[in-house]
């Protein structure tokens, strides 16, 4: 599979892997346990360019390709899925929309601090009554003079507790249905911008997922990204690359689980031999490795298509669906191979099991992905 | 390669990650000798302080150029790989001959840096031999450096002693591995390292060396055989109740002088 990677891609993977081995994996268990956000490590990651992987150099990023990007996300997620989540959401659904749909002034203002990780980005779409059906959002951004007045109740916001620059999906024209939805940037600290409590989640606990509420929060009209009414278009474009990122994350978690299972099955002895010598366990390892490989190839395909400027939406959706489902299967098998110890917090596989589960839910559930993919095949 | 006369040259060794000779080597199977990373870090810090450009120099087969790209991703400005079939089998003397000749072509420079040794063959010869061939003042095992007007004040730590030296430019140093923490390789310099910065390959003819002066013919020593050292270790299980086992363990430790 390495033949699909350029030398630059491999150097990227090696550098991120080495950083994560030294700085990220050793704290992953503790920050999961304490549900704390590791600012010190995040600062280092910012200086190394992890928060602006595909941002052009002149705006302070690394200017790398999508393949490098998925390798970065896979490696971070392998060490700590919560941090992988922080980085993928920041890069794909916060930085990318500003970079693609923002004007020069917006890019110059917001991108450099985002690319250096000095400011963290968030994507605020989901509401209590609007998730899979994004067109049902109730948030409003009403134009009054030279400002928008935003009222919104956004939930399950990844990075919510630490985000400075939030892309708010809101109705600028409440009468226009799906065509009245726009993206407006709201910065933390603006009066009326309220960060809610941490969501008490089963996994991804080191990511400060919160609600974000805006109460008559006013922002300048120039905070509109793209044009009024472009909200869903921007959201879908962001999710296309976002899904490849989540797929890479799912592969990273699954790879971590596979490696732990291989290690444990060689150490643990039952009936006088390492359990890896029992056919049932060996077959599980074979299935895990095969599925992780297949998922990774789908991620690489999606990244390659995007790097070649080819349509990749369908490939991205398929990669996300397959990788997330693979990740939950593979982490489940890793727990099974560890037996009782797999269900204990003594070993990291229980964390992988909890972290993997949400990859089938966020940035589009598996069910929505099947809908998207089947539409691509059947039309309509 | 036109660069300022105040440049620093860092010799780095690409070391193979797995010792299996038969396996096909790809770029990924080499790493920058960990003991050379501090030397590179010192050069990069000097660059930040004095604006002195950094050239990394390595000798090895084509795929090992990867470590030069990595060094450039850390901040080195250019890389040179000495690569020729005739260089295969070089011992430390022949290696120093090749490196010294290449470095001669890179004059003028201020500083030539080496690690103290390598992770795959712990000789520590190459730095001192190359400095000798180039007739450069050399300080080995350097722990810290202060910049002077036209030279350096360096501290050497060896065998629990600290020595201070003043050396004029151009000078050669070997850098103690624990003296600085090498920086992490970030993403920001990856594109320049692989697509923009200059990476040259110099063959034997570019160096003007004859095949007899390097490789096996140019070596003063030859490795006759190489095998993994077996350490004799025995494992003994103590039996009896827990108390008896503890008593036996204690008396064994006392008898051996470990307690």
B70 CB within 8 Å of a chain A CB = yes
Q: Delineate the domains of chain B, giving CATH numbers in brackets.
A: 8-213 (3.40.50.620)
* Distance of residue A358 Cα from the nearest chain B Cα, in angstroms: 28
Residue of B nearest to A72 (CA): B187
| pLDDT for the residue B1 | 66
Name the percent of chain B lying above pLDDT 90.
66
pLDDT of A325 over the 70 cut:
yes
Cβ–Cβ of A10/B185 closer than 8 Å? no
B72 CB within 8 Å of a chain A CB = no
- Residue A229 and residue A181: Cα distance in Å, rounded? 5
- Residue A90 and residue A51: Cα distance in Å, rounded? 7
**Dihedrals phi, psi of B253, to nearest 5 degrees:** -65, -40
The average pLDDT across B191-208 equals 96
| Residues of chain B found within 8 Å of residue A50, distances taken between Cβ atoms | 187
Predicted TM-score (pTM) of the model is 0.91
- How far, in Å, are A158, B74, B77, B198 from residue B3 at the CA level? 48, 18, 9, 11
Residue among B79, B80, B13, B32 nearest A15 (CA): B32
The average pLDDT across A175-191 equals 96
Question: Which residues does residue A295 pair with via DSSP β-bridges, in sequence order?
Answer: none
The average pLDDT across B172-179 equals 92
Q: Delineate the domains of chain A, giving CATH numbers in brackets.
A: 2-119 (1.10.540.10), 122-231 (2.40.110.10), 232-378 (1.20.140.10)
pLDDT in tens, A185-199: 999 999 999 999 999
Structure tokens at B185: 């390789």
Cβ–Cβ of B188/A48 closer than 8 Å? yes
| Residues of chain B found within 8 Å of residue A2, distances taken between Cβ atoms | 26, 28
- How far, in Å, are A56, A69, B10, B32 from residue B72 at the CA level? 19, 20, 11, 12
Residue of A6, A13, A15, A87 to mutate for B, most B C-beta atoms under 10 A = A15
Residue in A127, A260, A350, A363 annotated catalytic: A363
* Distance of residue B191 Cα from the nearest chain A Cα, in angstroms: 7
- Residue B10 and residue B163: Cα distance in Å, rounded? 23
The least confident of A96-110, B53-67, B111-125 is B111-125
B238 CB within 8 Å of a chain A CB = no
Cβ–Cβ of A64/B191 closer than 8 Å? yes
Q: Which residue is associated with the tokens 């693609």? A: A100
Name the percent of chain A lying above pLDDT 70.
100
The least confident of A205-214, A301-310, B168-177 is B168-177
Cβ–Cβ of A7/B194 closer than 8 Å? yes
- pLDDT range class, residue A104, cuts 50, 70, 90: very high
- pLDDT range class, residue B102, cuts 50, 70, 90: very high
The average pLDDT across A65-87 equals 98
The average pLDDT across A211-238 equals 97
Residue among A242, A69, A297, A40 nearest B190 (CA): A69
The residues in A 9-48 lying below 8 A from B, measured between CB atoms, are 10-12, 14-16, 18-19, 44, 47-48
Neighbours of A308 (CB within 10 A): 10
pLDDT in tens, A246-287: 999 999 999 999 999 999 999 999 999 999 999 999 999 999
The shortest CB-CB distance from A48 to any of B26, B70, B186 is to B186
Structure tokens at B243: 């108390």
Q: Which residue is associated with the tokens 């790209």? A: B69
- Residue B34 and residue B182: Cα distance in Å, rounded? 9
Q: Rounded to a whole number, what is the distance in angstroms from the first to the last CA of chain B?
A: 62
Q: Answer for the pair A186, A236: CB distance below 8 angstroms, yes or no.
A: no
| pLDDT for the residue B2 | 62
Burial bucket for residue B178 (CB in 10 Å: 0-12, 13-18, 19+): exposed
pLDDT in tens, A349-365: 999 999 999 999 999 99
Q: Answer for the pair A73, A245: CB distance below 8 angstroms, yes or no.
A: yes
- Residue A107 and residue A2: Cα distance in Å, rounded? 35
CA atoms within 13 A on the CB side of B240: 9
The average pLDDT across B5-20 equals 84
- Residue A46 and residue A36: Cα distance in Å, rounded? 18
A186 in helix, strand or coil? strand
- Residue A184 and residue A167: Cα distance in Å, rounded? 6
Structure tokens at B189: 């310099």
Please list, residue by residue across A33-64, b when 16 or more beta carbons sit within 10 angstroms of its beta carbon and e when fewer do: eebebbeebbebbbebbbbbbbbebebbbbbb
Q: The complex's ipTM?
A: 0.92
- Crossing angle for the helix pair A81-88 and A66-79, nearest 10 degrees? 150
Task: Determine how β-strand B111-115 pairs with β-strand B8-11.
Answer: parallel
pLDDT in tens, B22-35: 445 566 778 888 88
**Dihedrals phi, psi of A152, to nearest 5 degrees:** -155, 150
| pLDDT for the residue B22 | 46
| pLDDT for the residue B21 | 46
| Residue of B124 and A224 predicted with greater confidence | A224
Residue among B143, B111, B116, B142 nearest B127 (CA): B116
- Residue B42 and residue B171: Cα distance in Å, rounded? 14
- Residue A153 and residue A127: Cα distance in Å, rounded? 6
The least confident of A47-51, A330-334, B173-177 is B173-177
- Residue B27 and residue B69: Cα distance in Å, rounded? 10
> How many H-runs (helices) and E-runs (strands) does chain A carry?
12, 10
- My answer on whether omega of the bond before B108 falls inside 30° of 0, hence cis, is yes
């Amino acid at each position: 599979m390495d033949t699909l990677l350029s030398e630059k891609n491999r150097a990227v993977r090696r550098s991120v892997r080495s950083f994560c081995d030294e700085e990220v994996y050793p704290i992953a268990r503790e920050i999961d346990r304490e549900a704390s956000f590791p600012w010190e490590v995040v600062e280092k990651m910012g200086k190394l360019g992890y928060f602006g992987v595909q941002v052009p150099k002149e705006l302070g990023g690394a200017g790398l390709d999508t393949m490098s990007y998925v390798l970065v996300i896979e490696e971070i997620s392998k060490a700590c899925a919560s941090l992988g989540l922080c980085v993928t959401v920041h890069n794909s659904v916060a930085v990318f929309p500003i970079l693609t749909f923002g004007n020069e002034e917006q890019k110059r203002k917001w991108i450099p601090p985002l690319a250096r990780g000095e400011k963290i980005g968030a994507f605020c779409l989901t509401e209590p009554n609007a998730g899979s059906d994004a067109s049902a959002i109730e948030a409003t951004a009403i134009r009054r003079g030279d400002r928008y007045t935003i009222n919104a109740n956004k939930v399950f916001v990844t990075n919510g507790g630490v985000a400075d620059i939030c892309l708010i999906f809101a109705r600028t024209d409440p009468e226009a249905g799906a065509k009245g939805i726009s993206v407006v940037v709201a910065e933390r600290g603006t009066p009326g911008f309220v960060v809610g409590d941490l969501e008490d989640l089963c996994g991804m606990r080191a990511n400060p997922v919160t609600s974000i509420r805006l109460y008559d929060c006013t922002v300048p009209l120039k905070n509109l990204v793209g044009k009024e009414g472009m909200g869903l278009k921007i959201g879908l474009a962001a999710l296309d690359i976002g899904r490849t990122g989540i797929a890479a994350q799912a592969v990273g978690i699954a790879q971590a689980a596979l490696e732990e299972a291989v290690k444990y099955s060689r150490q643990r002895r039952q009936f006088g031999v390492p359990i890896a010598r029992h056919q049932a366990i060996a077959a599980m390892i074979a299935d895990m490795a095969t599925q992780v490989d297949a998922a990774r190839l789908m991620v690489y395909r999606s990244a390659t298509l995007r790097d070649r400027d080819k349509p990749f939406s369908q490939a991205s959706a398929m990669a996300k669906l397959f990788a997330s489902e693979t990740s939950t299967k593979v982490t489940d098998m890793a727990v099974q191979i560890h037996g009782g110890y797999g269900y204990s917090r003594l070993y990291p596989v229980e964390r992988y099991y909890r972290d993997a589960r949400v990859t089938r839910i966020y940035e589009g559930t598996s069910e929505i992905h099947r809908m998207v993919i089947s539409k691509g095949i059947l039309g309509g | 390669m036109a660069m300022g006369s105040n440049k620093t040259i860092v010799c780095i060794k690409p070391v193979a990650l797995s010792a299996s000779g038969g396996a096909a080597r790809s770029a990924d199977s080499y790493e920058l000798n960990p003991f050379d990373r501090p030397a590179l870090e010192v050069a990069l810090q000097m660059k930040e302080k004095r604006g002195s450009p950094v050239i990394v120099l390595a000798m090895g087969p084509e795929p090992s150029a990867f470590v030069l790209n990595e060094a450039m991703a850390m901040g080195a400005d250019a890389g040179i790989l000495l690569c020729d079939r005739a260089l295969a089998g070089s011992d430390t003397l022949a290696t120093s001959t090749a490196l010294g000749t290449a470095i001669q072509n890179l004059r003028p420079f201020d500083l030539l840096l080496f690690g103290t040794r390598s992770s795959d063959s712990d000789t520590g010869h190459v730095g001192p031999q190359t400095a000798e061939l180039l007739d450069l003042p050399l300080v080995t095992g350097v722990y810290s450096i202060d910049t002077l007007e036209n030279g350096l004040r360096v501290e050497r730590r060896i065998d629990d002693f600290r020595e201070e030296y003043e050396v004029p430019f151009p000078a050669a140093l070997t850098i103690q591995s624990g003296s600085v923490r090498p920086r992490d390789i970030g993403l920001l310099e990856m594109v320049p390292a692989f697509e923009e910065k200059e990476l040259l390959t110099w063959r034997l003819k570019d160096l003007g060396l004859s095949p007899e002066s390097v490789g096996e013919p140019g070596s003063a020593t030859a490795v006759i055989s190489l095998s993994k050292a077996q350490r004799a270790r025995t494992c003994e299980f103590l039996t009896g109740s827990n108390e008896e086992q503890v008593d036996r363990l204690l008396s064994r430790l006392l008898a051996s002088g470990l307690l």
